[in-house]
Amino acid sequence: MQIGMTLAKHIYDTQRLHPEATGALTLILNQVSMAAKIVSREVRKAGLVDILGLTGQKNVQGEDVRKLDEFANEIFMAAFSQLGNFCIMASEEREEPVLVSDGRKSGDYTIAFDPLDGSSNIDANVSVGTIFAVHRRVSEGDEAVPEDLLQTGRALAAAGYVLYGSSTMLVMSTGHGTHAFTLDPSVGEFLECHHQITIPKRGKTYSCNEGNYPYWSEGVRHYIAYIKEADPASGRPYSSRYIGSMVADIHRTLLYGGIFMYPADTKDPKKPSGKLRLLYECSPMAFLIEQAGGVASNGTAPILDLQPTQIHERTAFFAGSPENVRELERSIAQYDM
Ligand code: P6P
C-alpha cells in the first residue's frame, strides 16, 4: 500500500543530496509548510468569520490592507521569527526589512515573502497565494544587512508559493526541479501531486490585463496583436486566461504552458517598471519557471540575473513556455530597441 511522498520526506531526500547540509533549509521549508496550513485554515473559513474586508490601513504599496492580508503576514512573520534560522526578513506588507535576532547569533538565511498575494480578490472567493524566496546570508557582521536580502534570483536557496484554491497546494524548488504538493486537510500533510513539473515548450494561452494595452510599449502591443491574429496553422488566436492573482495565473501557466505577462506601462508614473515586485514575486516565480524548463524575462534580460537595489522594487515580467517568451522578446527587440 502506497501512502505517497510527503513534503517533509521530499525536503529530507533533497537535503541528502548535499552532505554538507546542516538541515536548516529543511527546517525552513517545513516551517513554511506549517504556517501555510494555518493560513489555509483561515482562508477556507474567511467567509464565515469576521476576517474578510478591509482593515482601514494602507500598506507600503499604498494598497488597502485586508484583514486576511494582515493575518497571513502575522502568521508567517511569527513562524519565521521563532525558527532561529533567519537573520532578516522582508514582507510585502512591511516597508522596512525586519531583523531576526533574539540575542543568539542570527540565522544563516534570509526570506522575502508576499504573505497573501492577490488579496484584493479574497472577498470574491478568487484563489490567492503566498510567495516566498529564501537566500543564504552573505554578510559577516553581527547583524544582517539589507544586502543579505538584495540578491539575484540566481542565488536563491529555495523558492515557492502556496495556492489557496479549490485545494491548497505548495509548489517549491531548492534547485532540483519544481515540485507540487496538495494539502490533505484530513491528515494535515502536503502530499506530492506533481513530481518535476515540466512546462510545455509552447502553449496557446496568454495571460495579461489587456485593460493596460494603451500604456504598453509598441513591442508588447505588436506581440499581443500577433497572437490574436486568426492563423489556425500556427494555433492562433491564442486563448486569453487572466485571473488577476499572480499565483493562480503562474500555476496555470506552469502546468498548461503559454505566457504570463505584466509589462511595464506608462499608466502610473510612480510605477514605470510595471506592478509586480522583483524580490518576493518575480524572482521566486522565475526560479520555479526556469526549474520547470521555462523562461522568465523582463523583456530583454532573465529575471534571475536582475540585481535588486530596493526590497520593494518592481520589474516588467514575462514568463512561461520558452517559445512563447522568446517570441515576445523578439517583438520587443524589433520594435522597442
Ligand atoms: P492588475 C494582485 O494585486 C497582484 O499583485 C498580482 O497577484 C496580480 O498578478 C496583479 O497584481 C494583478 O494586477 O493590475 O491586473 O489588477
Q: Could you say which of 1.10.3720.10, 3.40.50.300, 3.40.190.10, 3.30.540.10 is the CATH number of the domain covering 7-194?
A: 3.30.540.10
Looking from the CA of 226 toward its CB, the CA atoms found within 13 Å total 13
Q: What pLDDT was estimated at residue 102?
A: 61
- Residue 130 CB–ligand 1 contact under 6 Å: no
Q: Quick check: 247 and 129 in contact, CB under 8 A?
A: yes
- The vertex-158 CA angle with 155 and 159, nearest 5°, equals 105
Q: What pLDDT was estimated at residue 62?
A: 74
At 109, give phi and psi (nearest 5°): -130, 160
Q: Phi-psi region for residue 302, left (φ > 0), alpha (ψ -120 to 50) or beta?
A: beta
pLDDT for 167-197, tens place per residue? 999 999 999 999 999 999 999 999 999 999 9
Q: What pLDDT was estimated at residue 51?
A: 60
Amino acid at 184: D
- Residue 209 CB–ligand 1 contact under 6 Å: yes
Which 8-state DSSP code applies to residue 107? P
CA of 128 to the centre of ligand 1 (A): 11
What per-residue string of b and e applies to 291-303 under the rule 16 or more CB within 10 Å gives b?
bbbbbbbbbeeeb
Rounded average pLDDT per 10-residue block, the chain, 337 residues: 84 85 88 95 72 69 76 94 91 94 76 93 89 96 92 98 95 96 93 96 97 97 97 94 97 98 93 94 98 98 98 97 98 96
205-335 has CATH 3.40.50.150 classification:
no
Q: What pLDDT was estimated at residue 48?
A: 57
Q: Which atom of ligand 1 is nearest to the CA of 247?
A: 7
Q: What pLDDT was estimated at residue 47?
A: 60
Q: What pLDDT was estimated at residue 59?
A: 73
Amino acid at 62: G
At 133, give phi and psi (nearest 5°): -140, 125
**In the chain, which segments carry CATH 3.40.190.80?**
205-335
Of 131, 215, 243, 245, best ligand 1 pocket probe by most atoms within 8 Å of the beta carbon: 245
Please tell me the distance from the alpha carbon of residue 218 to that of residue 225, in angstroms, as a whole number. Answer: 10
Q: What pLDDT was estimated at residue 105?
A: 64
**In the chain, which segments carry CATH 3.30.540.10?**
7-194
Q: Count CB neighbours of 178 within 10 A.
A: 25
Rounded to two decimals, what is the model's pTM? 0.94
- Residue 208 CB–ligand 1 contact under 6 Å: no
